[in-house]
Structure 1
Amino acid sequence: MAISDVREYTHLTDDEVEAIGAELDEIRTEIEASRGQADREYVLRIITLQRRLAAAGRITLFASMFPPAWLLGTTLLASAKILENMEIGHNAMHGQWDWMNDPEIHSSNWEWDTTQPAEQWKHSHNYVHHQFTNVLGHDNDVGYGILRMSRDQKWTPYNLGQPVYNALLALLFEWGVALHDLDIEAIRKREKDPQLLWKQLKQIGTKVRQQAVKDYVLFPALTGPQWLHTLTANATANLTRNLWTYMIIFCGHFPDGAVHFTEEELEDETRAEWYLRQMLGSANFEGGKLLHLMSGQLGYQIEHHLFPDLPSNRYAQISVKVKDICARYDIPYTTGPLHQQYGQTFRTIMKLSLPNRRTEDNPAPTPARAKRRLRDDERPTRRSELGKWSPASA
Structure 2
Amino acid sequence: MRLDRELNRAELEAFAAELDGLRQAVVADLGEADARYIRRVRSVVRLCCWSGRALLMLGWFPPTWLLGTLLLGLGKILENMELGHNVMHGQYDWMNDPQLSGRDYEWDIVGPADFWRHTHNHMHHTWTNVIGMDDDVGYGVVRLFPEQRWKPFYRWQPLWVTLQALLFQYAVAIQHLRLDQWFKGRIGSDEVRPLARQFGAKLLRQWGKDYLLFPLLALLLGANALAVLAGNALANLLRNLWTFLVIFCGHFTERAAVFSKESVVGESRGRWYLRQLRGSSNLQGGKLLHILTGNLSHQIEHHLFPDLPARRYAELAPRVREIAARYGQVYNTGRLSSQFFSVLRRIWIYRLPPASSGQ
For normalisation by structure 2, the TM-score amounts to 0.96
Q: Please tell me whether the aligned partners of residues 115 and 178 of structure 1 are also in contact (alpha carbons under 8 angstroms).
A: yes
Match of residue 112, structure 1, among 107, 110, 113: 107
Structure 2 counterpart of 1:301: 299
Figure out how many residues of one structure are paired with residues of the other and give that number: 356
Structure 2 counterpart of 1:177: 172
Summarize deviations over 1:283-314 as a string: whole Å, max 9, x none.
00100000110000000000000000000110
Match of residue 326, structure 1, among 324, 327, 341: 324
Give the structure with the higher percent helix. 2
1:1-394 counterparts in 2 under 5 A?
10-224=5-219, 225-357=223-355
Deviates more, 1:149-158 or 1:333-342: 149-158
Amino acid across the alignment from 1:36: G
Q: Please tell me whether the aligned partners of residues 125 and 303 of structure 2 are also in contact (alpha carbons under 8 angstroms).
A: yes
1:252 partner SS: helix
Q: Matches of 1:162 and 1:274 in 2, distance apart?
A: 30
Summarize deviations over 1:298-345 as a string: whole Å, max 9, x none.
000000000000001100011111001011111010000001101000
Summarize the Cα distance change of 1:358–1:329 in structure 2 as closer, same or farther, 3 Å threshold: farther
Amino acid across the alignment from 1:278: Q
Q: Matches of 2:157 and 2:87 in 1, distance apart?
A: 33
Amino acid across the alignment from 2:349: K
Deviation, structure 1 residue 215: 0.3
Q: Please tell me whether the aligned partners of residues 4 and 328 of structure 2 are also in contact (alpha carbons under 8 angstroms).
A: no
1:357 partner SS: helix
Summarize deviations over 1:360-381 as a string: whole Å, max 9, x none.
xx6x5xxxxxxxxxxxxxxxxx
Q: Matches of 2:146 and 2:229 in 1, distance apart?
A: 42
Amino acid across the alignment from 1:124: T
Q: Matches of 1:112 and 1:193 in 2, distance apart?
A: 29
Q: Please tell me whether the aligned partners of residues 4 and 330 of structure 2 are also in contact (alpha carbons under 8 angstroms).
A: no
Q: Percent identity of the aligned residues? A: 46
Q: Which runs of 5+ in 1 are unaligned?
A: 365-394
Q: Please tell me whether the aligned partners of residues 64 and 73 of structure 1 are also in contact (alpha carbons under 8 angstroms).
A: no
Q: Matches of 2:62 and 2:187 in 1, distance apart?
A: 49
Deviates more, 1:220-229 or 1:87-96: 220-229
Q: Matches of 2:178 and 2:327 in 1, distance apart?
A: 38
Deviation, structure 1 residue 65: 2.4
Amino acid across the alignment from 2:319: K
Deviation, structure 1 residue 358: 7.6
Q: Matches of 1:231 and 1:238 in 2, distance apart?
A: 11
Q: Matches of 1:193 and 1:26 in 2, distance apart?
A: 45
Instruction: Kindly report the root-mean-square deviation, in angstroms, between the aligned alpha carbons of the 2 structures.
Output: 1.5
